[in-house]
Amino acid sequence: MEVNDNFIYTKEHEWASIEDNIVTVGISDYAQESLGDITFVELPAKDDEIDQFGDLASVESVKAASDIFSPMSGKIVEVNNDLEVEPGLINKSPYENGWIAKIEISDPEEASNLMTADEYRKFLESEG
């Protein structure tokens, strides 16, 4: 299971990549593997205000639906519309083409609530 060294992670298996005041969000390789083939993504609307660990999106696989939570608070500035036609991008490329949304960060301090890549790797091991 690949963990991208440059990102930080939530316990719900979302990743966050911070550049200046914008955070890009997606789900980890572990998450996409557990979900299986993703067939539908419900994206947030642009300009939506989102809380840290609040509802961001939902994804459906053939078998089940799952909620995706936001790693940080802020305002949605961009969503990955490619996922509407090709939800499987999340399976193929969870850390790049399968990104879900970009959020304008309201509180940079919140990043300290997330795990580093090393911490996330240990977390995955402890989860078994």
Partner 1 sequence: MIEKITLKKTPLYESHIALSAKMVDFGGWEMPVQYEGILAEYKYTREQATLFDISHMGEFIVEGDCVESGLDSLLTMSVSDMPIKSCRYGCMLNEDGGVIDDLIVFREDKDKWFLVVNSATTEKDKEHVKSRLSSKACFKDVSESTAKLDLQGPRSREILSSFVDDVSKLDYYTFDYFQLLGENVIISRTGYTGELGYEIYYPADKVKVLWNALLEDGKVKPAGLGARDVLRLEMGYSLYGHELGEDVSPLESGLSRFVDLNKNFIGKDVITRQKQEGLKRKIVGFVSSSRRSPRAEQKIYAEDKEIGVVTSGTFSPEMERGIGLGFVLTEHADRDNKILFGNENKREEAVVSSKLFYKRGSLKK
> Rule CB under 8 A: is residue 46 a binding residue for partner 1?
no
Between residues 28 and 61, which has the closer beta carbon with respect to partner 1? 61
**Among 4, 17, 39, 97, interactor with partner 1 by CB under 8 A:** 39
**Contact between 64 and partner 1 per CB under 8 A:** yes
Least distance CB 62 / partner 1 (angstroms):
5
Select 42 or 104, whichever has its Cβ closest to partner 1.
42
Interaction of residue 45 with partner 1, rule CB under 8 A:
no
Q: Which helix (H) or strand (E) holds 6?
A: none
Shortest distance, position 33 Cβ to partner 1, whole Å:
10
> Rounded to whole angstroms, how far apart are CA atoms 4 and 31?
13
**Burial (0-12, 13-18, 19+ Cβ within 10 Å), 77:** middle
User: By CB neighbour count within 10 A (0-12 exposed, 13-18 middle, 19+ buried), where does 126 fall?
Assistant: exposed
